[in-house]
Amino acid sequence: MIFYYFLGDFLKWKKIGDILIVDSKFDEDISDNLESIAARHNVKSIIKIDQIEGQKREPTISILYGNETETIHKENGCLFNLDLSKVMWAKGNNNERLRIAKLVGKGETVVDMFAGIGYFSIPIGVHSQAKQIYSIEINPNSYHFLKNNIELNKINEKAEYDRMVPILGDCAVEAPKYSADRVLMGYVKTTHHFLRPAMECVKDGGIIHYHETVPDKLIETRPYERVKQVAFECGEREVEVLNIQKIKRYAPGVEHIVLDARIY
């Protein structure tokens, strides 16, 4: 669970493990209070994320208090080791990560195309009876922590084989190498450019969870039309919309959604 704190009228914080992250409205005038804030919330560091850039989702941060940026965060009964100076933490998606884990059926093969440190893969490994999980990540730093988190949560410890397999690489290249009952596309910037490799990966009757940021007036049409078009181009496949889930407000008039689509 992520805890939010407010200081004054505008300043919002979130606690990841034992690190407090302040939002971009941080006021330098309160910097003298940071030690007491850290003590009150039992954290070792306070940081500000200035920006997250590129396909590898690499953060640029400012350390406001303390000097450590690596932590272990607990969410939905799962442990996540990460270094906030090297990898992003996707805030606000914790309910969605658990929702997906609960949808995964016994014996399924799952491909996570944008695995990161295991945001979706780890809950699936912990809470489902998936037979095989392929977790693809292009960022070497995220891949490092993905491997740590597989071990930390003991996902492969009791299995006769590695249920979760981390893969360092471009999901557009790697995903079509597998045949999946369920494909996760938990990335919201230009995600539609990766629909073809997802379509080449998913089995007949399998499900794609396609994330997109969409203007409110296009939520019911654009994500479906994009998936439908690529499905047609990939062998005239058919698309059944199972659900459109709103995740969070991305910007004024724009929603982060996920389309659950069965592909035939």
Could you tell me which of 172, 182, 170, 259 has the C-alpha nearest to residue 213? 259
189: three-class secondary structure by DSSP: coil
- The rounded distance, in Å, linking the Cα atoms of 127 and 160 is 18
CA 161 to each of CA 73, 88, 103, 118, 133: distance values in angstroms, whole numbers, following the listed order: 27, 30, 23, 19, 12
Q: What is the pLDDT of residue 34?
A: 82
> In the chain, what are the domain boundaries?
3-68, 94-263
CATH architecture under which domain 94-263 falls: 3-Layer(aba) Sandwich (3.40)
Buried (b) or exposed (e) across 30-45, using 16+ Cβ within 10 A? eeeebeebbeeeebbb
Distance between CA atoms of residues 264 and 112, nearest Å:
20
Q: What's the pLDDT at 235?
A: 96
All residue ranges of the chain with pLDDT < 70 are 1-12, 24-32, 53-57, 91-92
Q: What confidence score (pLDDT) does residue 8 get?
A: 41
> For residue 88, what pLDDT is reported?
80
Name the CATH topology of 3-68.
GMP Synthetase; Chain A, domain 3 (3.30.300)
Strand partners, 202: 180
pLDDT tens digit string along 175-234? 999 999 999 999 888 899 999 999 999 999 999 999 999 999 999 999 999 999 999 999
Phi-psi region of 57 (alpha: psi -120 to 50; beta: other; left: phi over 0): left
Look at the chain and count its residues. Answer: 264
With CA atoms as reference, report the closest residue to 79 among 112, 114, 123: 123
Token pair, residue 109, equals 């093969």
User: What pLDDT score was predicted for residue 89?
Assistant: 80
| pLDDT in the model for residue 13 | 73
* Amino acid in the structure at residue 85: S
Q: How far is 197 from 235, CA to CA, in rounded Å?
A: 13
> Each residue of 3-12: pLDDT tens digit?
444 444 334 6
Residue 138 corresponds to which tokens in the numbers above? 């292009």
- Residue 157, C-beta contacts closer than 8 angstroms, at least 6 positions apart: none
Give the whole-angstrom CA distance, residue 214 versus residue 191.
Answer: 12
Q: Which tokens go with 126? A: 């912990």
